[in-house]
Amino acid sequence: MNYTYIVQCADGTYYTGWTNNIEKRLQAHNSGKGGKYTHPRFPVTLVYCEEFVTKQEAQRREFAIKKMSRQQKIELIASINKIDGF
Protein backbone atom coordinates (compact mmCIF):
# COMPACT_ATOMS: atom_id res chain seq x y z
CA MET A 1 0.00 0.00 0.00
CA ASN A 2 0.93 3.65 -0.36
CA TYR A 3 0.24 6.37 2.15
CA THR A 4 -0.17 10.11 2.20
CA TYR A 5 0.49 11.44 5.66
CA ILE A 6 0.75 14.58 7.75
CA VAL A 7 3.08 14.81 10.71
CA GLN A 8 3.19 17.55 13.28
CA CYS A 9 6.72 18.69 14.00
CA ALA A 10 8.06 19.61 17.43
CA ASP A 11 7.69 23.31 16.56
CA GLY A 12 3.97 22.86 15.77
CA THR A 13 4.30 23.02 11.99
CA TYR A 14 2.97 20.36 9.63
CA TYR A 15 4.80 18.30 7.03
CA THR A 16 2.98 16.33 4.34
CA GLY A 17 4.53 13.43 2.45
CA TRP A 18 3.89 10.05 0.89
CA THR A 19 5.48 6.65 1.41
CA ASN A 20 4.94 2.95 0.90
CA ASN A 21 6.12 2.13 4.44
CA ILE A 22 4.66 4.49 7.03
CA GLU A 23 6.46 2.99 10.05
CA LYS A 24 9.87 3.16 8.39
CA ARG A 25 9.24 6.71 7.18
CA LEU A 26 8.23 7.92 10.66
CA GLN A 27 11.38 6.34 12.09
CA ALA A 28 13.42 8.17 9.47
CA HIS A 29 11.79 11.50 10.32
CA ASN A 30 12.32 10.95 14.04
CA SER A 31 15.95 9.98 13.65
CA GLY A 32 16.69 13.17 11.73
CA LYS A 33 17.03 11.33 8.43
CA GLY A 34 13.61 12.21 7.02
CA GLY A 35 13.11 15.25 4.86
CA LYS A 36 15.11 18.47 4.93
CA TYR A 37 12.11 20.19 6.47
CA THR A 38 11.66 17.79 9.38
CA HIS A 39 15.36 17.29 10.13
CA PRO A 40 15.69 20.33 12.44
CA ARG A 41 12.12 19.96 13.71
CA PHE A 42 11.95 16.39 15.04
CA PRO A 43 10.47 14.58 16.83
CA VAL A 44 7.38 14.39 14.68
CA THR A 45 3.98 12.91 15.47
CA LEU A 46 1.71 11.29 12.90
CA VAL A 47 -1.58 13.22 12.91
CA TYR A 48 -3.17 12.13 9.61
CA CYS A 49 -2.82 9.25 7.17
CA GLU A 50 -4.66 8.04 4.07
CA GLU A 51 -4.07 4.74 2.27
CA PHE A 52 -3.92 4.30 -1.51
CA VAL A 53 -3.38 1.37 -3.86
CA THR A 54 -1.02 3.17 -6.22
CA LYS A 55 1.94 5.48 -5.72
CA GLN A 56 0.43 7.94 -8.19
CA GLU A 57 -2.77 8.29 -6.11
CA ALA A 58 -0.74 8.94 -2.95
CA GLN A 59 1.41 11.52 -4.74
CA ARG A 60 -1.64 13.32 -6.15
CA ARG A 61 -3.18 13.51 -2.68
CA GLU A 62 0.10 14.74 -1.19
CA PHE A 63 0.20 17.53 -3.78
CA ALA A 64 -3.42 18.49 -3.04
CA ILE A 65 -2.80 18.62 0.72
CA LYS A 66 0.38 20.65 0.29
CA LYS A 67 -1.65 23.29 -1.56
CA MET A 68 -4.04 23.61 1.42
CA SER A 69 -3.76 26.43 3.92
CA ARG A 70 -2.72 25.63 7.48
CA GLN A 71 -6.33 26.11 8.59
CA GLN A 72 -7.58 23.65 5.97
CA LYS A 73 -5.02 21.10 7.16
CA ILE A 74 -6.15 21.58 10.76
CA GLU A 75 -9.75 21.00 9.69
CA LEU A 76 -8.76 17.89 7.70
CA ILE A 77 -6.91 16.47 10.72
CA ALA A 78 -9.83 17.32 13.02
CA SER A 79 -12.35 15.67 10.68
CA ILE A 80 -10.57 12.33 10.71
CA ASN A 81 -10.09 12.46 14.47
CA LYS A 82 -13.84 13.01 14.94
CA ILE A 83 -14.50 9.91 12.83
CA ASP A 84 -12.05 7.86 14.90
CA GLY A 85 -13.65 9.10 18.12
CA PHE A 86 -10.79 11.29 19.35
pLDDT in tens, 1-12: 999 999 999 999
Q: Which helix (H) or strand (E) covers residue 51, if one does?
A: strand 45-52
Q: How confident is the model at residue 34 (pLDDT cuts 50, 70, 90)?
A: confident
What ranges in 1-86 are assigned the alpha helix state H?
22-30, 55-66, 70-83
**Peptide bond connecting 43 to the previous residue in cis, omega within 30 degrees of 0:** yes
- pTM, entire model: 0.89
Residues 6+ apart with CB under 8 A from 61: 4, 18, 50, 52
Residue boundaries of the structural domains of the chain = 2-83
Q: What is the CATH number of domain 2-83?
A: 3.40.1440.10
